[in-house]
């Protein structure tokens, strides 16, 4: 192949190319553009892959950060719910403690057997075991609702128990303040209430109480709870104790050897308030026992025959 090179200022030149030169020249003119295109494509594709990988990694990192943030928020909420439920549980435990104390108090007031109503331990329950159903588990909201229901139930029970305790206390006070039984531990009734022959004058006379004879110096007991309204010497009665029980009831214990209580003292049924003697108008050691109701002497026999509840 011949190439003619033209030049306006010089003579033309002729180049003769062989087949190897022609092949090399063709490779240069054809291969160089193809190589450039290939290099450009490879460079651009690599950058695109790298950019896509970077975008993918960035997206995964963002998702991981979002999941971590969501888990952290869930942890905070779970801790908050746990704290709230712990406080609710503490409140319920306080209610249970209060109810146990009220139950024990009511058992004592009602005179029930402690072994029958034991509030110091868990209630006795039992039964055969059965497989649970496939019902869904409770949600946090449902558990919280049950806590609220229990809290309200315990509050109502406390009010009811308080009212019942008040009623039982009032009843117990009424029973404690009502005369019942004899004012001595041992001895015998030596004179009844009503008309009798006076042991000193021998004349027919009225006797406002009953007499219980016994050993000198033996105990004289209060037949009901109350407040001492008299303690000292009274004409005809000798050394005497008077106890006011409320509701217009008063008891008297006379001819004592010595009084063991003073005015204003609070005494309970069965307390020793004096020692048996023969002071005042008396023929021997005994206690003259009187019961007054609304300022009027009544037959003590009705109260003596009563038993302590």
How do the domains of the chain map onto residue ranges?
A: 2-80, 188-304
Say if CB 284 and CB 200 are below 8 A apart.
Answer: no
The closest alpha carbon to 277, from 233, 244, 223, belongs to: 233
CATH superfamily for domain 188-304: Glucose Permease (Domain IIA) (2.70.70.10)
Cα-trace Rg, the chain:
55
120 vs 291: which has the higher pLDDT: 291
Tell me: pLDDT of 151 over 80.
no
> What band does 80 get if pLDDT is binned at 50, 70 and 90?
confident
Q: What is the pTM of this model?
A: 0.52
| Residue 251, pLDDT score | 97
The residue with greater pLDDT, 14 or 65, is 65
pLDDT digits (tens, 9 = 90+) for 96-105: 776 777 677 6
How high does pLDDT run on average in the chain? 78
pLDDT of 184 higher than 90 = yes
pLDDT above 60 (res 49): no
Please state, in angstroms and rounded to a whole number, the distance separating the CA atoms of residues 125 and 193.
57
Q: Which of 298, 268, 282 is nearest to 234 (CA)?
A: 282
- Sorted by sequence, the CB contacts under 8 Å of residue 164 that are 6+ apart come out as 106
Residue 82, beta-bridge partner list: none
Question: Once rounded to an integer, what is the mean pLDDT over residues 238-254?
Answer: 94
């Amino acid at each position: 192949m011949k190439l003619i090179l033209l030049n306006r200022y010089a003579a033309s030149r002729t180049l003769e190319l062989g087949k190897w030169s022609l092949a090399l020249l063709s490779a240069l003119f054809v291969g160089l553009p193809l190589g450039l295109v290939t290099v450009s494509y490879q460079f651009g594709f690599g950058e695109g892959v790298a950019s896509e990988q970077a975008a993918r990694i960035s997206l995964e990192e963002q998702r991981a950060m979002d999941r971590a943030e969501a888990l952290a928020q869930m942890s905070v909420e779970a801790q908050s719910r746990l704290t709230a439920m712990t406080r609710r549980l503490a409140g319920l435990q306080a209610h249970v403690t209060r109810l146990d104390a009220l139950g024990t108090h009511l058992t004592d007031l009602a005179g029930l057997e402690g072994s029958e109503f034991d509030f110091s331990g868990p209630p006795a329950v039992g039964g055969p075991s059965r497989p649970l159903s496939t019902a869904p588990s409770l949600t946090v909201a449902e558990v919280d609702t049950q806590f609220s229901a229990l809290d309200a139930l315990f509050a109502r029970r406390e009010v009811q128990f308080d009212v019942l305790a008040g009623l039982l206390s009032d009843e117990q006070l009424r029973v404690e303040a009502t005369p019942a039984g004899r004012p001595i531990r041992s001895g015998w009734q030596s004179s009844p209430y009503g008309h009798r022959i006076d042991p000193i004058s021998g004349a027919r006379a009225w006797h406002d109480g009953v007499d219980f004879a016994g050993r000198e110096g033996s105990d004289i007991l209060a037949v009901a709870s109350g407040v001492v309204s008299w303690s000292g010497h009274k004409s005809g009665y000798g050394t005497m104790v008077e106890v006011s029980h409320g509701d217009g009831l008063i008891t008297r214990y006379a001819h004592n050897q010595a009084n063991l209580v003073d005015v204003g003292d609070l005494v309970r049924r069965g307390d020793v308030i004096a020692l048996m003697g023969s002071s005042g108008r008396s023929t021997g050691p005994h206690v003259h026992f009187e019961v007054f109701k609304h300022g009027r002497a009544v037959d003590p026999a009705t109260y003596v025959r009563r038993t302590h509840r």
